[in-house]
Chain A
Amino acid sequence: MATQTRQTDPLDSDMLGPIQTETMTLNMGPQHPSTHGVLRVVLELDGETVLSCKPVIGYLHTGIEKNMEEKTYNKALPMTDRMDYLAPMSNNLGFVLAVEKLLDMEVPRRCRYLRVLLAEMTRLNSHLVWLGTHALDLGAMTVFLYCFREREQLLKIFEKVSGVRMMTSYFRVGGVAREPYPEFYEDCRAFLEPFSDRVDEYEELLTNNPIYLRRAEGVCAMTAEQAYALGITGPLLRACGVPYDIRKNEPYSGYEEFNFEVPVGERGDILDRYLVRVAEMRESRRIAMQVLEGMPEGPLMADNPKVVPPPKEQLAHDMEALIHHFKIFTEGYSVPEGEVYQAIESPRGELGFYMISDGSPDPYKVKVRAPSFANLHALGEITRGGLMGDVVAAIGSIDIVLGEIDR
């Protein structure tokens, strides 16, 4: 049948010449709305099929790690917000925990609770942006509006507690920047209590939506072994069925005191990544509610006058407090020699700070193990052999933040 058609076809091969077998190289980005930042992707295509997909990064490289070497620990802290600008408090938390580990210092229980509360609300914030933009990439506009409605409430709380909407820099080595405002816990409760209904709303829009399922189910799947080999962590690894969550497996900042589940997927496709993150939002709400229920009394800041600045009132009538205040803000505090690695579970995966101190008030070396940097490896792997249209869905499902990839 096929040969017959070819014989009678006027557009025969001797008119058109030999069939084109060359592949096409397509450049996507760096200015592309669905690359979520300044990412460039070089695609090699055979028709609609992706033969290879190479992410090109570096457009946002600002040398944050190098800059940190020239600054005291407290001055280096605000730069951590600028890396993962969707989850600033997770970055703050990783940084302060690493410095506290170098200093061998404990913070009071109330401070740990407050940090956990804010870190979980940051996770909600980050997942909301992810959900909204991922759905938008696939053509579902409504989800974006719903997610940003809730995100706005979160940003208002962040602004009231830290003074800034996005670049909060609220955590400090030895505590937090200041006592939260009086209605803070009520505001959190007012946001968190109806939040599970909000998640139901998002799920109504997507989870059983046949259009979404056609784009997500079985698309760009990855196995657990592939994920291990590429160093992939966070929701991507859990979507492959590996229940690895640093909050559970290597608890930090008092996470062992809270009850929560680690949601996992089975197939490791885009749908599973979506389901894992949605389930994580419910779990984050659960942790945050437990913090609000069990918020302990007691001091907020660690008792270490060399590191933690004294309360403002003391400066007027306490000579020693004034000296400490002056020393902390001029030359900083010396940190004992040594090197540590502190990993936390950021919304995107394992966020680690590898820090070397030479005993001076400036870090000798800071290396940020950014989760997106490793997770970006997945892109080439999961899009290979798939369709070109799925590349956008894949980038969205990885949840990258270029700020932390390039640093």
Chain B
Amino acid sequence: MSEEEREQTEAEEPVENKDPDLVLLQAKIGEGFLGAREHRGQISAQIAPAALLDAARFLRDERGYKLLSFVCGVDCLELPVSYRFKVTYSLLNPEKSQRLRLEAPCADDLEPAMPSVCGVWPGARLHESEAYDLLGITFEGHPELERILTPEGFEGHPHRKDFDISAEPVAFTFRDTPAGKPRAAE
């Protein structure tokens, strides 16, 4: 990551100027635009959570990103970044066959939260519920935030990096051994 960033700062043209949509987005949300990164020809823009809804509406209404491909929460615990959680939004402009990724870092590491984009793309409902279920990110303004994948009464968020998948408790139910016979453990 750091090497790549160094390469980018050395490059003459910053990534955010490569895509005309990003130039306009930057002009629109100003300080909410935190930067952009390019990897293998794919651009992802960092957006501050406070500016997320403005950016989403602008991209949908004025730049044609009508389709939200997916929303994905990421636990960055082992990545060299200052925040713990980020939420990635992958957008598609179907007329121009253009894709754009937005990344919004969650401000609070312990109780991560993000404004919900369900009002902009109603299709975000299940994706955001999934991120809530698996990573524990709360989406403010979500119409029906609930666990959708893990079973009822499940505790914890399995896609967090510190969720131990080797220690799931197993519930054994022993039948009583007939009188006189030794128990299995003895």
Contacts and interface: CB of A to CB of B under 8 A. Distances in A.
A233 B149 CA distance: 22
Nearest to A246: B97
A275 to B, nearest CB: 21
Nearest to A60: B149
A338 interface: yes
Nearest to B66: A228
B90 A354 contact: yes
Interface residues of A, number: 42
B120 to A, nearest CB: 9
B2 to A, nearest CB: 9
B67 interface: yes
Nearest to B98: A250
B17 to A, nearest CB: 20
Contact of B42 (A340, A356, A376): A340
A185 interface: no
Nearest to B163: A66
A246 to B, nearest CB: 9
A231 B67 contact: yes
A209 interface: no
B39 interface: yes
B149 A406 contact: yes
A231 B150 contact: no
A341 B89 CA distance: 11
A356 B69 contact: no
A274 to B, nearest CB: 23
Nearest to B147: A58
Interface string A36-80: 000000000000000000001110010101100010000000000
A341 B101 contact: yes
A337 B4 contact: yes
B126 A343 contact: no
B43 to A, nearest CB: 11
A337 B1 contact: yes
Nearest to A341: B90
B123 A377 contact: yes
Contacts of B158: 63, 66
Interface string B119-130: 001111111000
A230 B69 contact: no
Interface string B145-173: 00111110000001100000100000000
Interface string B78-109: 11000000001010001001010100000000
B79 A364 contact: yes
B151 to A, nearest CB: 7
A377 B126 contact: yes
B90 A352 contact: yes
A104 interface: yes
Nearest to B161: A69
Contacts, number: 100
A376 B126 contact: yes
B45 interface: no
Interface residues of B, number: 38
Given A231-B123, A233-B67, A374-B123, A102 B40 contact: yes
A350 interface: yes
B59 interface: no
B159 A65 contact: yes
B39 A339 contact: yes
Interface string B45-79: 00000000000000000000011111010110011
B40 A354 contact: no
Contacts of B99: 250, 341, 343
B44 interface: yes
A58 B149 CA distance: 4
Nearest to B131: A367
A156 interface: no
Nearest to A343: B69
Interface string B1-29: 10010000000000000000000000000
A262 to B, nearest CB: 12
B166 to A, nearest CB: 10
A166 B23 CA distance: 47
A367 B79 contact: no
A306 interface: no
B126 A354 contact: no
Name the 3 nearest CB pairs between A and B, nearest first. A231-B123, A249-B97, A338-B39
Interface of B: 1, 4, 39-40, 42, 44, 66-70, 72, 74-75, 78-79, 88, 90, 94, 97, 99, 101, 121-127, 134, 147-151, 158-159, 165
20 contacts: A63-B165, A65-B159, A104-B40, A230-B123, A231-B69, A232-B123, A233-B67, A250-B97, A250-B99, A337-B1, A338-B1, A339-B39, A339-B44, A354-B88, A356-B74, A356-B79, A365-B75, A369-B69, A369-B70, A377-B126
Given A365-B75, A376-B126, 9 more contacts: A57-B148, A229-B122, A231-B123, A231-B127, A233-B67, A338-B40, A341-B42, A352-B69, A358-B79
